[in-house]
């Protein structure tokens, strides 16, 4: 089945331009150097599935003309991946069914605490989002959403256990410092790989450029794009130095694939 992967945001947790910074990337006029917080959208068979809803989701949805969302998958509970959940409210009012959210137990627990007014049975907030939170039961469980399979891929984000997702011949691995050995077999035969590459130098909880290239060489997808990038990576200069099958992602990038 034909599908389309859109990079809603390709930036790091602080976004680019970064507040208070006048570096070459933060003052760049290249629109590819403007990076909102990390998120992606998968479209197939007139369905729209989001991966994460960060604090820039409202602006991303307006930019991409998102007027309907069929489900959301969450990778982990850091602020730059969840704080746009409240912006789902007007979209959740449109359909007859409640909007499903999928997350592992640790992430779901944080969502329920931060958005207590949405999930609490005692909440009297009349305009809370019409959503249902579904816990992904196991580390490598597959969630079936409107005829497509989304498999959770265990990843390490520093000391934190987080999720990536594989769907068809594509995978989205943001916020990753290490791909556990047991996850590598789940990432074979990829056409498209979206992978964390924060900056040039090593970081305790994110993959850096050299390491990300090594991971691409290990997994051998046909094509790869790097995401979750800070202002240390100038788009044009970095892109020009990469192998031809590896590119930097950018906000609004659309990638056709098979799901």
Q: What is the pLDDT of residues 18-72, one digit of tens each?
A: 999 999 999 999 999 999 999 999 999 999 999 999 999 999 999 999 999 999 9
Tell the CATH superfamily of the 2-258 domain: Ribonuclease Z/Hydroxyacylglutathione hydrolase-like (3.60.15.10)
Question: Is residue 121 predicted with pLDDT exceeding 90?
Answer: no
Cis peptide before 99 (omega within 30 of 0): no
Whose CA is closest to 239, among 229, 231, 248? Answer: 248
pLDDT at res. 172: 98
pTM for the full model? Answer: 0.96
Six token digits for residue 21 = 């910074």
Whose CA is closest to 129, among 87, 68, 97? Answer: 87
For the chain, the structural domain boundaries read: 2-258
């Amino acid at each position: 089945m034909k599908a389309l992967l859109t990079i809603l945001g390709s930036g790091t947790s602080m976004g680019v331009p970064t507040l208070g910074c006048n570096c070459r990337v933060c003052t760049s006029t290249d629109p590819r150097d403007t990076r909102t917080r990390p998120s992606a959208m998968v479209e197939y068979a007139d369905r729209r599935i989001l991966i994460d809803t960060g604090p820039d989701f409202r602006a991303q949805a307006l930019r991409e003309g998102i007027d309907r969302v069929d489900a959301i998958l969450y990778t982990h509970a850091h602020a730059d991946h969840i704080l746009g959940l409240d912006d789902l409210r007007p979209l959740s009012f449109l359909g007859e069914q409640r909007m499903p959210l999928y997350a592992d137990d640790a992430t779901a627990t944080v969502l329920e605490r931060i958005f207590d007014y949405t999930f609490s049975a005692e909440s009297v907030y009349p305009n809370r989002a019409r959503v249902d939170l579904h816990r992904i039961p196991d580390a490598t469980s597959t969630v079936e959403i409107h005829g497509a399979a989304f498999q959770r891929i265990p990843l390490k984000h520093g000391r934190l256990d987080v999720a990536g997702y594989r769907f068809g011949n594509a995978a989205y691995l943001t916020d990753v410092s290490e791909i556990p050995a047991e996850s590598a077999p789940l990432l074979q035969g990829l056409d498209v790989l979206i992978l964390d590459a924060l900056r040039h130098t090593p970081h305790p909880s994110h993959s850096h450029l050299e390491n990300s290239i090594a991971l691409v060489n290990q997994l051998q997808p046909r094509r790869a794009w790097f995401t979750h990038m800070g202002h240390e990576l100038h788009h044009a200069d970095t892109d020009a130095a990469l192998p031809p099958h590896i590119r930097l992602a950018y906000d609004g990038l659309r990638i056709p694939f098979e799901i």
